[in-house]
Homo-oligomer: A and B are copies of this chain.
């Protein structure tokens, strides 16, 4: 075991999640590289110091450049707003420091393309944080599909639906401003990443999105409340995705239904310890969707619990990300998802927005 000194940029929700993960990953996984919480950066000296004490870092700063350049910081975790993802990543990569960047990667498709270029030029570990995909359930789905266990995929339906803006009286905030914080910017990346990981590249899209509640107490809303997209995958499958922050009653509706010629898979993150599998085999009278509870037999499960049925929580996925980032650094081998994967997600979003803006629909009155 040798020590690796971690610098985290951003002390908010994701900053805390990654700090806790880096604290715990060593004991949980008996990793080769043991992280040390070296330095945390936040927007003011006071908040940075507060986070330092709360999360157990050695030092703090309010200047990201200071953190990136610090000779005792070996690797970087970016949990800041997207506007400075690119600058931070380019600076760190130029110094040969591995970078883990929270999704969505960069403030624009150009930013993310530049980040890919910098990462690939540097040759060091680069990784994007799409944490939901890391449940044992979704990793199992990915493996089953890749192994052909449900045959050729014919249909993918995904959604990422929540209801934190379902009430028209919920006040405007930073969340209701800027494309990056709307559903196409904030929620879509997770499910598009899942679609690409589970089914493969997307070739064509046709989308639609809108702001349902155009003003809220405290201000106007300048980004979208929900959006949808029909798509075609390179392997021929047809698909549909829906993203919403106004899906009343949905708390973590990160869900997909997948049909193949030999079976089907269904998942909903609201019951993240289960995955549903149907196999079109055996006698007809015994066929049905199986509710499989994830356990030691599934990918990325064992280290947490030696017994089955113990359940995985959100923080567990963040610890898995920490483990994988450390592995990427240790071995030098790329670990999915790399910056390039993050860029592919952004590309699908850009195409969807463009197709929606083109406004081509068929009027029912013509029939």
How many copies of the shown chain assemble into the complex? 4
A271 within 8 A of B: yes
| Contacting pair B289 A290 (CB below 8 A) | yes
Q: Which of B27, B290, B366 contacts A56 (CB 8 A)?
A: B27
Q: A226 interface residue, CB < 8 Å from B?
A: yes
Contacts of A167 in B (CB 8 A): 261, 280
Assuming the contacts A347-B367, A351-B366, asked whether A150 and B228 have C-beta atoms less than 8 A apart, the reply is no
* Segment of A83-91, A115-123, A205-213 engaged in the interface with chain B: A205-213
Q: How far is the CA of A286 from the CA of B365 in the complex (A)?
A: 38
Which chain B residues border A252 with CB–CB below 8 Å?
A: 293, 308-311
Q: Are A278 and B24 in contact (CB under 8 A)?
A: no
Contact assessment for A249 and B269 in the assembled complex, using a CB-CB cutoff below 8 Å = no
Question: Is the Cβ of B310 less than 8 Å from the Cβ of A248?
Answer: no
Bound Cα distance from A285 to B293, whole angstroms: 9
Whether B308 contacts A362 by the Cβ 8 Å rule is no
**A314:B306 contact, CB within 8 angstroms:** no
Question: When the two chains form their complex, are residues A285 and B270 in contact, meaning their CB atoms are under 8 A apart?
Answer: no
From B1, B150, B230, B251, A295 is in contact (CB under 8 Å) with B251
CB pair A288 B277 closer than 8 Å: yes
Question: Does residue A43 face the partner (Cβ distance < 8 Å to B)?
Answer: no
Q: Bin chain A's interface residue count.
A: 35 or more
- Residues of A330-367 contacting chain B, CB below 8 A: 347-348, 350-352, 354-355, 358, 360-367
A204→B277 CA distance, assembly (Å): 35
Q: Are B228 and A228 in contact (CB under 8 A)?
A: no
Q: Which residues of A135-159 are within 8 A (CB) of B?
A: 140, 150-151, 154-155, 157
B23 to A16, Cβ gap below 8 A? no
Contact assessment for B292 and A286 in the assembled complex, using a CB-CB cutoff below 8 Å: yes
Of residues 242 through 301 on chain A, the ones whose CB sits less than 8 Å from some CB of chain B are 242, 244, 246-252, 259-264, 269-274, 276-280, 283-293, 295, 297-298
Of the candidates B27, B270, B292, B361, the one whose C-beta lies within 8 Å of that of A16 is: B27
Contact B238 A210 (CB under 8 A): yes
Measured CA separation A107–B278 after assembly (Å): 36
Q: Which residues of B contact A260 (CB under 8 A)?
A: 248
List of B residues within 8 angstroms of A150 by Cβ: 248
Candidates B20, B308, B316, B350; contact of A313 at CB < 8 Å? B316
For A207, list chain B residues within 8 Å (CB).
Answer: 362
10 tightest A-B contacts by CB? Answer: A313-B313, A252-B309, A251-B309, A249-B278, A355-B362, A288-B292, A288-B290, A310-B314, A285-B297, A284-B297
4 further A-B pairs in the complex, CB-CB below 8 A; given A290-B290, A311-B314: A23-B26, A26-B56, A270-B293, A354-B366
Q: Could you show 30 A-B contacts with beta carbons less than 8 Å apart?
A: A1-B53, A23-B27, A27-B55, A27-B56, A151-B248, A154-B225, A154-B226, A155-B242, A155-B246, A157-B242, A164-B307, A166-B261, A204-B363, A205-B361, A206-B208, A208-B230, A247-B259, A248-B259, A248-B263, A270-B273, A272-B273, A276-B288, A277-B288, A287-B290, A288-B292, A289-B290, A310-B313, A311-B314, A312-B313, A351-B366
